[in-house]
Amino acid sequence: MTTIRRSEFIALAAGAAGLGLAPRARAADYPTRPIELIVPASAGGGTDVLARAFAEAAKNHSPQPFITVNRPGASGAIGFAETLNARPDGYKVCVVFVELAILPFLNQIKFTADDFRMIAQLNADPAAIMVRTEAPWQTIEDFLAEAKRRPGGVTLGDSGVGSIWHLSGAAMAEKTGVRFLHVPYPGAAPGLTALLGGHVDAMCCGPGEANAFVQGGKMRALTVMADSRVPGFDTVPTLKERGVDLTIGTWRGLGVPRATPAPVVEVLGDIARKAAAEPGFKEALAKVNLGYSYADARTFDAHIAKDREFFRELAGRLQLG
């Protein structure tokens, strides 16, 4: 994968700020035009669903609309970089997710979460293992036993090299002593389509991302990698219940370039807090089994800092860097 250098993608933003082009003096008037909501993921996946639900809920609390713009690729790095390359004026907000705490340790990006100013966390979901309903494995034990019998012969898809679902599958393999054939896709949605078509044996993703297929009787979940069972997937056991001590998953929230003026960040934080509290937003997430998890910027920063250490150690053990 091509390395994306921090200097290449934030130089314009820094230069604009240095020249006085960032409209700091006009921050009190913000926003006066539509705000781009960058979605660093493909349409149809959990990140996309959350972004569109937020944009809809924000209509009641922002004088200007949030316009969702999908920028998939490189496990989120493309969308993250575009946001950092933008003028730090609050008119380009990014849906950030857990890969921002992972990719620096895989040497795939040269920027980090520190280059963003967080607005709020909106969601958290565990990893899950999905198979087609006609697959021969009825339990996670059956699936892992097959992988042990055929090292590298069972294919496991995910949303891309370095993605949280890639690391989740790799961590499960490490914990259970099995080896899968890793098959990356440019997002959860295309990966699930591939699973549905029989191109891979299983898919690691968020429960909510496969919800429509599960409800439609086309897929089933073998396990979730959470501390407790997930609402909407109450019959699906956790790995911990099966004796595998692994809890891993994603979070999603909003961020802007670090140089964004504080008054603009405050406005965005207020919009995010009110939009996240909207019953319609919570219902939209619950409808597709995406976990609602709001946190303000300070709490979100602390969560990210903790996860960065976890993923630094995991990436080192798995030798993914």
Question: Which H or E run contains 286?
Answer: helix 279-287
Which residues make beta-bridge pairs with 116? 257
Predicted confidence pLDDT, tens digits, the chain (321 residues): 444 555 444 444 444 444 444 444 356 689 999 999 999 998 988 899 999 999 999 999 999 999 999 999 888 999 999 999 999 999 999 999 999 999 999 988 999 999 999 999 999 999 999 999 999 999 999 999 999 999 999 999 998 888 999 999 999 999 999 999 999 998 888 999 999 999 999 999 999 999 999 999 999 999 999 999 999 899 999 999 999 999 999 999 999 999 999 999 999 999 999 999 999 999 999 998 899 999 999 999 999 999 999 999 999 988 876
Question: Can you give the pTM of this predicted structure?
Answer: 0.83
Question: What pLDDT does 46 receive?
Answer: 87
**Quick one: DSSP state of residue 238?**
B
Question: What pLDDT does 71 receive?
Answer: 95
Task: Report yes or no: 203 and 214 within 8 Å, Cβ to Cβ.
Answer: no
**Alpha-carbon dihedral angle through residues 228, 232, 234, 239, given to the nearest 10 degrees:** -50
What token pair was written down for 188?
């959860």
Question: What pLDDT does 12 receive?
Answer: 40
Question: What pLDDT does 318 receive?
Answer: 85
CA distance 74 to 68: 19
Which residues does 18 contact at the CB level (< 8 Å), separation at least 6?
none
